Amino acid sequence: NAGVTQTPKFQVLKTGQSMTLQCAQDMNHEYMSWYRQDPGMGLRLIHYSVGAGITDQGEVPNGYNVSRSTTEDFPLRLLSAAPSQTSVYFCASSYGLAGGPGEQFFGPGTRLTVL
Amino acid sequence: AQSVAQPEDQVNVAEGNPLTVKCTYSVSGNPYLFWYVQYPNRGLQFLLKYITGDNLVKGSYGFEAEFNKSQTSFHLKKPSALVSDSALYFCAVSPRNSGGYQKVTFGIGTKLQVIP
C-alpha cells in the first residue's frame, strides 16, 4: 500500500494564482482531512470529509476549497493565493472509531510558498 | 471549544535517561487522546492513543502515555531515550461523542532533543 500520497512536494506561487494540491489514499478510509502547519501554531484543520460527496469546514477554511468525488481522492484548491497561505500542507486519512476519529495517516506534505 | 496545551517548546534529555513530554487538554466530556511524532521534513506518524480503559497506554518505539482525568493530562513517557527519538511531538484531542466526525485539535508541538 502507498498509504497517503500528496503532490506536489514543493510549489511556489505568485499572489493571485490558483492551484490544486492533490491527495490520495489507498486504505479505503472514510475520513480525510487537510491541515496546514505553521511555526508555533501546530496543525490547524482546513477542511475535512466524512465520505465521498460530503465535506465540511475546519478551523481555517477561508481561501480554500475542497471536493470529494471518490473515496480515494481529496484535492485542496487555493482559489487566489495570498502570502498568508505560505505553509506546509498535510493531508490525512483515518477510519472511524465508534463515532470518532481513529489514528490518522498523514501524507509527506506539500511546502507552498506564495510570493 | 477543545484545546491542547504543550507547555514546553523544547525538551532536552541525555541518551539513556527517561523522558517526559507534557500535554494537558480541555474538551467537553470524555476525550480521545493521541500522540504523533514528526521527523524532519516528514509527515506525522501515529504513536499511541487513549480511548478508554487502562490509564497507561503503550505505543510504538517504546513510548507510553498516562491519562490522568483529574489533571486533564496525557504526558508522553519513555524509560530510556535514544538519539533517534529526537523529533517534534504533537499531542491531540478529540471529543468522544456518538456519531459523526469529531474534529481533532493538535497542540503546537514539543521538540525533543536527545543528547548523546
In 3D, which of B90, B83, B93 has the Cα closest to residue B111? B90
Q: What chain A residue is nearest to B43 in terms of C-alpha separation?
A: A108
CB-nearest partner of B43 from A96, A98, A109:
A109
Question: Roughly how many angstroms between the first and final C-alpha of chain B, as a whole number?
Answer: 41
SS (H, E, C) chain B: CCEEECCCCEEEEECCCCEEECCEEECCCCEEEEEEEECCCCCEEEEEEECCCCCEEECHHHCEEEEECCCCEEEEEECCCCHHHCEEEEEEEEECCCCCCCCCEECCCEEEEEEC
* B31 Cβ neighbours under 8 A, 6+ residues apart: B2, B25, B50, B93, B94, B95, B96
Q: What chain B residue is nearest to A89 in terms of C-alpha separation?
A: B43
- Return the C-alpha cell found at B93: 484531542
Interface test with A, best of B37, B104, B106 (most A CBs within 10 A): B104
Q: What is the pLDDT of residues B39-96, one digit of tens each?
A: 988 889 999 999 888 899 999 999 999 999 999 999 999 999 999 999 999 999 988 7
Cβ burial of B100 (10 Å; 0-12, 13-18, 19+) is exposed
Interface test with B, best of A35, A68, A103 (most B CBs within 10 A): A103
Shortest alpha-carbon distance between residue B116 and chain A (Å): 26
Interface test with A, best of B27, B44, B48 (most A CBs within 10 A): B44
Asked if A108 lies within 8 A of B42 by C-beta distance, the reply is yes
| Confidence at residue B2, expressed as pLDDT on a 0 to 100 scale | 87
Which helix (H) or strand (E) element contains residue A96? strand A96-97
- Return the C-alpha cell found at B13: 534529555
| Confidence at residue B100, expressed as pLDDT on a 0 to 100 scale | 58
Would you write out chain A's pLDDT as a tens digit for each of its 115 residues? 789 999 999 999 999 999 999 999 999 998 999 999 998 888 999 999 988 999 999 999 999 999 999 999 999 999 999 999 999 999 999 987 665 668 899 999 999 999 9
Contacts of B90 in chain A (CB under 8 A): 42-43
Enumerate residues 1 to 30 of chain A having a beta carbon within 8 A of any beta carbon in chain B. 4
